[in-house]
Structure 1
Amino acid sequence: MQLLDAAPFGRVLPAMATPMRADGSVDFDAAAALAQHLVADGADGLVVNGTTGESPVTHLDEKVDLVRAVKAAVDVPVISGAGSNDTAHTVRMAQMTQEAGADGLLIVMPYYSRPSGNGVVEHYRAVDEVAEKPILIYDVPGRTGLHVNLDTYRRLAELEHVKAVKDATGNLAAAIAKKAATGLDWYSGDDGLFLPFLSIGAVGIISVAAHVAARPMRGLVDAFNQGDIRKAQRIAEQLCPVIEALNGDGYQAVMAKAALKIKGYIPSAAMRLPNMEPGPKELDKAEEGMRQAGLL
């Protein structure tokens, strides 16, 4: 018995941090090694160039080279973030990251500008016209300031390459309606809501905590898929401390690097401003959360 629909991009996809050297340059060798660690730990897909990958401060050539480095290192789907609030720039990123080998494009709702529903649809239509790979909509109103209604979702789902949604709205009731209306594949964008999202038909998660918890998160989704809801609940409870440690303060990119540094998966936790490299406080918080979750 399997309860879940097929997951086109994998079940557990870390929103991968982008390793950097002390001078702030991207460390592509460390990125390839990190990708291999994550897959060995249970990730069956990866998202690069997302918010947790410091996408606001990496440049287009770096994003392209990161896709190439990670694709060469692992044999799982590699989704690349390619979104911005500038439609023309989003189109260029989509073209170049898919040419570099990305298996899908994660396109965030255009943030800050707060366009109308028509503007949102035309933004995605422009990407759809150059897309050769599937598009995943990333809906995260806490970062975009944009609340997208059901009718807009219906119109987005009509675009040829739009296939899935990363839902970080926190609104399970709305997700049920949107999924039913669109038929799109749904991914939880909130670590703490992984199990509830599975219960309404999500097929997987794009995750911060999966940097260090991919194996138990894979166990959670496998247990749910096999109908062992009690086991899935136990794993969800076990993961609470690490999820809170890495997400609770709102600067997930910093805490992801803190956790990776503790695991020894990256040689440096350097970051580009305005994010600052995790200090003793962040490292201690990440370590304690991981320890309480049985990950150390």
Structure 2
Amino acid sequence: MAHFSGSMVAIITPFREDGTFDEERYRELIEFQIEKGTDVIVPCGTTGESATLDFEEHDYVIKTCIDQVNKRVPVIAGTGANNTAEAIHLSQNARKNGADGLLLVCPYYNKPSQEGIYRHYRKIAEEVALPQVLYNVPGRTGVNISAETTCRLAELDNVVAIKEASGDLTQISEIIARAGDKIDVISGDDFLTFPMMACGAVGVISVTANIAPDRVKRMVAAAAEGDYATARKLHLQLLELHKAMFIESNPVPVKTSASLMGKCGDTVRLPLAPMAPANLEKLQAVLKKYELI
């Protein structure tokens, strides 16, 4: 079964000023990632504003990504939904389009029980023959996938990894201790990638890699090689940049950063809004400090 690791980017979806998908800029962003050594591209995650893409757009953005990547690196398509049937539909389309894996966010808003979460993922695994990356992000979904449920799901053949953004290093360590031979753990929090890799995680699906892919890659590569002194130094150097990416709801700061760097427009779709002026000033100061603008 597939094994996804290293520095993976949750890539932004650029929009034109009128809010339509900017395909040309998207293809350029993908080229930038591959040039800078990013190991895996992840379209249509939270950072890709999947929540405000309609079905047709969602499929089209994934298809465009797969086409541009052209098998140079794996593509893990974000196809999660809080309706299991919808998630299956999006996942089947991603498979037809040639995705290498699926990133499946835990159902949000419904607040399913642990049994409901288990059955949701099991059903998708039964219906779609692609490697699955579970995605635990309680701050967004309102529900935590417990270590026990993750270990249960690890028994399913096509569940290969979990993107952990619970911020709970105890829970993360427990998954690795109990089922590390059956499921990979991937960091879903840039500022926790280093400690998570020290515990046995295999990489990150990163927000910051959108704007500093080479630096994120260097840190992840050092940790993967067991060079923790270098990894720690890079982790601490990147901390302020990681924090700046979350001064407002993701992906507003990272998309604004990409725009300030001249890579794409800063348009986000409602209900997301442009950055507050005070936060924009803070962001610009950090980007200057890191010599990104």
TM-score interval, smaller chain? over 0.9
> Aligned equivalents of 1:291 and 1:226: distance in 2?
30
Partner of 2:225: 226
Answering whether residue 255 of structure 2 is matched by residue 257 of structure 1, we say: yes
Secondary structure at 2:59 match in 1: helix
| AA of the residue aligned to 1:39 | I
> Aligned equivalents of 2:109 and 2:134: distance in 1?
16
Percent same amino acid among aligned pairs?
Answer: 36
| AA of the residue aligned to 1:228 | D
Q: Are the aligned partners of 2:194 and 2:231 in contact in 1 as well (CA < 8 Å)?
A: yes
1:61 to 1:157, Cα distance in 2 relative to 1, 3 A = same
Q: Which runs of 5+ in 2 are unaligned?
A: none
How far did residue 82 of structure 1 move? 0.8
Q: Are the aligned partners of 2:8 and 2:41 in contact in 1 as well (CA < 8 Å)?
A: yes
1:223 to 1:154, Cα distance in 2 relative to 1, 3 A = closer
Q: Which runs of 5+ in 1 are unaligned?
A: 1-6
Secondary structure at 1:8 match in 2: coil
Partner of 1:95: 92
How far did residue 151 of structure 1 move? 2.6
Partner of 2:168: 171
Q: Deviations over 1:236-273 (max 9, x none)?
A: 11111211111233x1111111111122211x111110
> Aligned equivalents of 1:66 and 1:33: distance in 2?
13
Larger CA deviation: 202-211 vs 213-222 = 213-222
Partner of 2:49: 54
User: TM-score, normalised on structure 1?
Assistant: 0.92
CA RMSD of aligned residues (A): 1.7
| AA of the residue aligned to 1:255 | P
How far did residue 279 of structure 1 move? 6.2
User: TM-score, normalised on structure 2?
Assistant: 0.93
Answering whether residue 281 of structure 2 is matched by residue 284 of structure 1, we say: yes
Q: How many residues align?
A: 288
Output aligned runs, 1:1-296, within 5 Å. 8-74=3-69, 75-182=72-179, 183-249=182-248, 251-266=249-264, 268-278=265-275, 280-296=277-293
Larger CA deviation: 66-75 vs 12-21 = 66-75
1:258 to 1:184, Cα distance in 2 relative to 1, 3 A = same
> Aligned equivalents of 1:229 and 1:151: distance in 2?
29
Larger CA deviation: 202-211 vs 220-229 = 220-229
Q: Are the aligned partners of 2:190 and 2:206 in contact in 1 as well (CA < 8 Å)?
A: yes
